[in-house]
Amino acid sequence: MSRSVLAPLVVALSALLVVPQIQAEPTAPLFVVEQQRSALVTRLAKQWSDAFALLPKERRLDHEQLSSALWALRADRLFAVTLAGDAEAVEAVLADAKRDAVKPRVSTKALGDPTADLTYTPINPCRILDTRATAAGPLAANVARTFDGYSTNFAPQGGTASGCGIPNGVAALAMNVYAVNPTNLGFIKVWPANAAEPAVSTVNYQTGLVAIATGALVPVDAASSNRFRAKSPAVVDFVADVVGYFKAPGDAAGLDIKVAGQRVMRYEPNAISPNVIGGSPANNVTAGVRGATIAGGGTPGNSDPDFPLEAPNRVTDVYGTVGGGYGNRAGDDAGTALDAGFGTVGGGSKKHRERGCEHGRRGL
């Protein structure tokens, strides 16, 4: 904007304000507005308050409301109000500012959806299947075969004799899949056990190559041991090594908080009342118990050099509470979580309490 156009605007502002004139460049009228905002708002509110008091009830603003609305305006809009010829023009400026205020802003949800997104957990590469080591042998031509993505022992399907650290109920597995000793040109499809067979392959193979591998993200049947299926148009051995898994944020089996790699707090979800387990990572709540609290204490057992007979703190029945100490149990541990609920142990140690009672009896 040229100096010849801006100069009259600054002159208009100076004429409007009943305050000492300040030194400012004529090329910066909005700077003048900001410098004189307080006096300008006071003058404009006084100028238009009578007109706004006569507007229909749904549009009416008292002097305080008008002052607040004017004060919240950007400098360019406040300048526009100084040039308004009637209350309707001032209203238009205020309405424009109000519309801008309710425009949607970028939010965290716009950058991710916690109801749909998945989190990735890497694990040490672990073999969960190898058809070369099974009685069933390689994949038969055009026959779909089902495999478990969750097990406490993957040896029966040719994998490692462990669970590989893969929890049940994940959404997908990150795997390296291998086609070994193919008998013809072809491919292997891999897909969730509870879904329809896809039209695309996961790994392609050809004769003359002993093994061909590729990385794949494979959705699985979370409701049934993370199961998935594999199928090939030709006879071929199939091998899969898991390197990680995807699941919903949080942990349906519990959330652990760790410090220096050691669990210090655990939260176990329950639709009625969750369990809160603090203290030693060996402290635990029996399956089926709800509303349990272990505030702290506990040891893995015989790990404290200063005290004998240490043990974890435990809650075996519903709504039990252990305040601390070690070797304490709330509940009767009788195999059902409902027959001895609401037990409370303040702390200390069962063994030390027994020794204290014995000392007391001897003193009597």
Q: How many CB atoms are closer than 10 A to CB 69?
A: 20
Output the six-digit token pair for 354. Answer: 């027994």
Residue 131 has pLDDT above 60, yes or no: yes
Q: Collect contacts of 50-57 with beta carbons under 8 A, ≥24 apart.
A: 51/86, 51/87, 51/90, 52/87, 52/90, 55/87, 55/91
Q: In the structure, what pLDDT confidence band is assigned to residue 28 with cuts at 50, 70 and 90?
A: low
pLDDT, tens only, 71-96: 988 888 888 888 888 888 889 988 88
Residue 103 has pLDDT above 70, yes or no: no
For the four alpha carbons of 90, 91, 96 and 97, in that order, the dihedral sign comes to positive
Sorted by sequence, the CB contacts under 8 Å of residue 30 that are 6+ apart come out as 75, 76, 79
Q: Which of 10-19, 59-68, 226-235 has the highest mean pLDDT?
A: 226-235
The CA distance from 212 to 214, in Å, is 7
Residue 27 has pLDDT above 80, yes or no: no
Residue 23 has pLDDT above 60, yes or no: no
Q: Which of 307, 344, 342, 341 is nearest to 326 (CA)?
A: 307
pLDDT, tens only, 267-296: 888 889 999 999 998 899 987 899 999 998
Q: Percentage of the chain with pLDDT > 70?
A: 83
Location of each CATH 2.60.120 domain in the chain: 119-247
Which CATH architecture best describes the domain 119-247?
Sandwich (2.60)
Given this model, what pLDDT does residue 127 score?
96
Given this model, what pLDDT does residue 293 score?
95
Q: Taking residues 348-358, what's their average pLDDT? A: 57
The CA distance from 123 to 244, in Å, is 5
pLDDT, tens only, 195-225: 999 999 999 999 888 899 999 999 999 888 8
Output the six-digit token pair for 333. Answer: 């541990």
Q: Which of 236, 253, 234, 226 is nearest to 128 (CA)?
A: 226
First to last CA, the chain: 101
2-35 exposure pattern, b = at least 16 Cβ within 10 A, e = fewer: eeeeeeebbeebeebbeeeeeeeeeeebeebbeb
Given this model, what pLDDT does residue 148 score?
95
Contact of 331 with 322, CB cutoff 8 Å: no
Cα–Cα distances (Å) from 32 to 16, 18, 70, 81, 262, in that order, read 12, 14, 16, 14, 61
Residue 322 has pLDDT above 50, yes or no: yes
